[in-house]
Every structure is written in C-alpha cells, then in structure tokens.
Homo-oligomer: A and B are copies of this chain.
Amino acid sequence: MKFEEAKSKFIQTWGALGSQWGINKTMAQIHALLMISPEPLSMEDIMEELHISRGNTSMNLRSLMDWGIVFKEYKPGERKEFFSAEGNIDELARKIARERSRREIKPTLRVLQDISAIDGEESTKASHFKAKTEELYDFVSRADNMLEKITEQKENWITKTILKLMR
C-alpha cells in the first residue's frame, strides 16, 4: 500500500470509529490528520486536506482543544495559528476517559442517585425500580472509579494494569 492511500484510509477509519462512539466524524478526522502530521498544521492546511469549510474546521478545532487533546501553537514571524495533537497515546486515552466521565458518566450518576430516592411507594413496580436503579448506580459508580484508578497510573497504564490482573 502507498503512503497516500494508507493516510486516507487512516483518516476515514478514525473518523468512522469516532462516529460509532458518538464523536463528530470531522472532529475525529481532524484529530487523525494532526496525529500523523510531523509538523503542526494551519487551518488552511486542514481545510485543504479534508475538503471542509473554514467554519467547520474552526469549530471542531475548538472542540478538540476543549477535550485537551489538540493544542494551538504559534510560529515566530507567522501570523496564523498552528495546531498539533497530543503525542503521547497514554495521555490521549487518559484525557478522553476523563472527559467522558466528567461529561457523560458523572451526570448520569447524579440522575440515578436522584431517581432511586423515590418516596415510599410500595407497589411491586416501584420497589423493583428502586432496586434496579440502585444496583445500576452502584455498578456505574464502581466502573467509573475503576477507570479512574486505571488511568491515574503514570506511564504505560495499560501494561501496568494487565500485569496486576495476571496475578
């Protein structure tokens, strides 16, 4: 396979993976492009490579920076802004895990806690509901804690975790 073909395939695949996990496809593609670029890219570069508009590029770069996985850089003498992606994959995964927990899991947990506190109904339905939502709260909060524990390990947290699990 030739480089250009492989590159395009990578960008498509990363975009599709993002999509399947609820991430805007273009955002994932920009991230893919920045990851494989040895040099920071300008907005123009990105627009041209991916054939997308300026507005789209600007908004998705903003999102990527909000996630903390893309950074803005300035080149001396140059007026325009350049962008580069987090280069450390461990750190990338850590950031994604933390953001998803903060934005999606934690708020869900708060709701689960609220609703399992329904006031004393005694129907089968209500007590089953309470039991289920409590169980769910318990499970989700422990899973969330587990992920936190895993990712808070510095460097090579995957290898470290696998080692610990093997014992």
Q: CB within 8 Å of B: which residues of A?
A: 1-3, 6-7, 9-10, 13, 17, 19-22, 35-38, 89-90, 93, 103-104, 108, 111-112, 114-119, 121, 123-126, 128-129, 132-133, 135-136, 139, 142-143, 145-146, 149-150, 158-159, 161-162, 164-167
Q: How many copies does the complex hold?
A: 2
Given contacts A38-B128, A93-B139, contact A111 B13 (CB under 8 A): yes
Residues from chain B with a CB closer than 8 A to the CB of A161 are 146, 165
12 A-B pairs (CB sep. < 8 Å): A1-B117, A6-B129, A21-B22, A21-B104, A35-B132, A36-B128, A38-B125, A142-B162, A146-B158, A146-B161, A146-B162, A149-B165
Q: Are A135 and B89 in contact (CB under 8 A)?
A: yes
Given contacts A3-B126, A89-B139, A164-B164, 12 further A-B contacts (CB under 8 A): A1-B114, A1-B118, A6-B116, A6-B129, A9-B111, A10-B111, A19-B22, A38-B128, A93-B139, A146-B165, A149-B166, A164-B165
